[in-house]
Chain A
Amino acid sequence: MLSTGLRIACACAASALALTACSSSSSSGGGSGGKTLKVAYVKFGNEIQVDAHMQKVKAQFEAAHPGVTVKLDPIAAAENDYYTKIDLMMGSGSTAPDVVYEDTFLINSDIKAGYLAPLDSYLASWSDWSQFPDTAKSAARGIDGKTYGVPMGTDTRALYYNKAMLTKAGVAMPWQPKSWQDVLAAAKAVKATSPGVTPLNVYAGKPDGEGSTMQGFEMLLYGTKDTLYDSASKKWTAPSKGFTDSLQFLKDAYSGGLTLPPQTELDPNIPNVVSGQMLPQGKLAIDLDGSWVTGTWGTSGAKPWPQWNTVIGEAAMPTQDGSGKGTISMSGGWTLSVTAKSKNKDLGAQFVELALNKENSASYDIADSQIAVRNDVAADPSYQSTNPTTAFFTGLVPVTQYRPAYAEYPKISDAIQVAMEAVITGQSSPADAMKAYTATLKGIVGSDNVAAGAS
């Protein structure tokens, strides 16, 4: 019995060796032929604008570079699967795309993994780069100080509200709450005056993923005196009063019947239901959401709703008690990057520069309801006039905050979602959820890298 087992083990080892041998001999071959440029990006569900943009740029690029073929690789998958796929692709020279569409949420991990090529030498001679403000330039900057991506646009977050319902609830128009209490008070008034309507939507819980963390939790937390990460001391913050207070806000909203019932909120499809059904059908009064939502309602959007601007108004999210700058927003966004294993880095960089020149940035930002990062696009009247909310959301840029998108951030984001979910379902009190989060956080980054909040 033992000898048989041994023999099998030997056979397995031999085959593994054979594989390794095989690999070292053949890895030099293959790869994209001399003049083919591969571009990988996501094309899933509502995300159809990137595909349209890439097709347009492909035509322009091929016209400008005779003999070069641009091969588009639209990856049809939800975000986790998209990342799995591009990480695998970028790990190998023969499959790595030349240009890749990267979320600023995860770009630091990919920089750390050595998947991306620094673009500084190209950007130095690209006159357009001066049009990008410093915050935008820093979105794809690695710890080594080099830049690994050019932002396509950004997003900000705020409150959408149904003007008629809030008017009916006795709220003065245009609405601009001064504190969290104002938001809850307006929701309570709607509950009293418009039965059958969900007064307030704040994303929470694991099924919505990063959407819960950013649109839901961080929009609250960054309006307190605490944040997730203290960049001065380079430590993650927990426990903190701001964190507990943010959870308490969720508890008040959910247990007060101001929101969707938790079981409906925990449907992974809820963001689409909110923008595609609840707001257009007048079933939701106040929605804490992203600047891209109105893109769904435009003529080229997925759910055209021509009269939305007369029905829906926008208000900046107030800080907890109106202190600080008074309002708050959070920003993310996507970049185009060139991969480290690309054999056509020059062409790749040229493709990125073409894809994000003034005209192309403008047309993409308009089509995808992105907040422009280029100063010249932001100032362009055609950009400002396409969507009535553009000026409003671009105006939030001075108060906006960016996530501490370090390599550990995805896990920390998940821990936040767990805390939110425990609170809205009533499984934990905000204090207990805070304790659990602190423990998880110490497990992720190590106790040495965690410090209690100042307030």
Chain B
Amino acid sequence: MAARAQLVGEELAGAAGRTTSPRRARGARTTRHLPLAPALIMLFLFFLGPVLWSVYSSFTNAALTGDGAQNPQWVGLENFRRLFSDPNVTNGIWLTVVFVLGSAVIGQNLLGLTIALLMRGRSRWLRGTVGGIVVSAWVLPEVVSALIWYAFLGQHGTLNQIMKAFGMSGQDWLYSSPMLAVIIANVWRGTAFSMLVYNAALDDVPADVQEAAELDGATGWRRLWNVILPLIRPSIVTNLMLITLQTLSVFTLIYVMTAGGPGFASSTLPVLMYQQAFKFSEVGYGTAISLLLLVIGAVFSFIYVRVLKPEA
């Protein structure tokens, strides 16, 4: 009992000040971090372990079949040398950055925030309906979304039929502007997540601040910029970080809609990775490509943390 009381007292002191007391008993420190254990076990076993193995295999010629399957050889930086001399990879890096900027940072993030802001103070019915429609795009399985957009943007698709009805001539959007097509599809698919995050964040903004900042002409915009956005800054950083990392690895959507084509016009890094690792069975080279995604993700995250300073 006494030990427990002491523990609680310490928790109180530590948590209230959110600082670590240097003289804390070692046992207590272990105990209070105990809830982390299941997560740590799962992450080390099923996630970091395989990730480290993948990092290792990017320095080998490991393959699913052929020579590299029987006895993979250490090839040093060979995969990375190949990577940087491959114009399709360079192209893939840019396409990936464009895809993330266009569909996540600009598309999902801004649209999600806009919807959340517009919803403030609207009727329950309108909020429910609009929210429900946006969310229904999000809950559809990725392959179904991809197919829907394949049907929407294809040559005989809905968009062209609508355009024809207005006397405009359509085109095969998946062929003529594949990146735009997959970006729009990914905005459609992912906006709901940002909307939900911002809805929750705006709920925490005190009512009087909100009222003062109702979209109300120029002053409203300024208040939005000066008051509301700083208040929800932690949510913005978290959201940007999460949707960026999520969008970096989008594969199915692109693969079903355009298969990375025409040519390499929409071959982002995940598409190239899949091709190398599973079509050509070169696991080592494939993982080397996917490590580039880690770097890109780290760069984005670094920018968010530096520019937006979540914990400032």
- A: residues with CB less than 8 A from B are 11-13, 15-16, 19, 80-81, 83-84, 87-88, 91, 106, 109-110, 112-115, 205-207, 262-264, 266, 268, 407, 410-411, 414, 418, 421-422, 425, 427
Contact = CB atoms under 8 A, between A and B. Distances in A.
Given A16-B53, A414-B279, 16 more contacts: A12-B52, A15-B44, A15-B48, A16-B49, A80-B279, A83-B281, A112-B67, A112-B69, A113-B69, A206-B260, A206-B261, A262-B262, A263-B174, A263-B262, A410-B280, A421-B261
Contact of B66 (A81, A109, A427): A109
Nearest to A428: B263
B84 interface: no
Contact of B263 (A81, A407, A427): A427
B83 to A, nearest CB: 12
5 contacts: A12-B52, A15-B44, A83-B278, A206-B259, A410-B281
Contact of B67 (A87, A88, A407): A407
Interface in B23-52: 44-45, 48-49, 52
Contacts of B278: 80-81, 83-84
B290 to A, nearest CB: 15
Contact of A109 (B45, B172, B262, B281): B281
Nearest to B82: A443
Contacts of A263: 155, 172, 174-176, 262
A115 B259 contact: no
A109 B263 contact: no
Given A16-B49, A16-B53, A81-B278, A266 B261 contact: yes
Q: Which 4 A-B pairs have the closest CB atoms?
A: A113-B69, A263-B175, A407-B66, A109-B65
**Secondary structure of the B side of the interface?**
helix
A124 B70 CA distance: 28
Interface of B: 44-45, 48-49, 52-53, 63-70, 155, 172, 174-176, 259-263, 275, 278-281
A264 B155 contact: yes
Nearest to B86: A443
A260 to B, nearest CB: 11
A115 B69 CA distance: 9
Contact of B65 (A13, A15, A83): A83
B66 A112 contact: yes
B155 A112 contact: no
Contacts of B67: 112-113, 407
Contacts of B176: 263
B69 A87 contact: yes
Contact of B49 (A15, A407, A421): A15
A410 B279 contact: yes
Contacts of A12: 44, 48-49, 52
Nearest to B63: A113
A425 B262 contact: yes
A61 B120 CA distance: 69
A450 B52 CA distance: 37
A181 B262 CA distance: 29
Nearest to B176: A263
Contacts of A112: 65-67, 69-70
B263 A110 contact: no
B223 to A, nearest CB: 39
A291 to B, nearest CB: 25
A84 B63 CA distance: 10
Nearest to B276: A411
Contacts of A266: 175, 261-262
Given A16-B52, A113-B70, A87 B259 contact: no
A87 B64 contact: yes
Contacts of B175: 262-263, 266
A106 B52 contact: no
B261 A114 contact: no
Nearest to B56: A16
B263 A91 contact: no
Contacts of B174: 263
Contacts of A91: 64, 69
Nearest to B51: A12
Max chain A Cβ within 10 angstroms of own Cβ: one of B65, B260, B278: B65
Contacts of A421: 261-263
Contacts of B66: 109, 112-113, 407
A143 to B, nearest CB: 12
Max chain A Cβ within 10 angstroms of own Cβ: one of B44, B48, B52, B281: B281
A11 B43 CA distance: 12
Contacts of B275: 414
Nearest to B150: A267
Given A263-B155, A266-B261, A114 B69 contact: yes
B65 A414 contact: no
Nearest to B278: A84
Nearest to A425: B262
Nearest to B41: A15
Contact of B64 (A15, A84, A264): A84
Max chain A Cβ within 10 angstroms of own Cβ: one of B67, B172, B275, B279: B279
Contacts of A410: 279-281
Contacts of B279: 80, 410, 414
Nearest to B174: A263
Nearest to A106: B65
Contacts of A109: 65-66, 281
Contact of A422 (B49, B63, B263): B263
Nearest to A424: B262
A11 B65 contact: no
Contacts of A427: 263
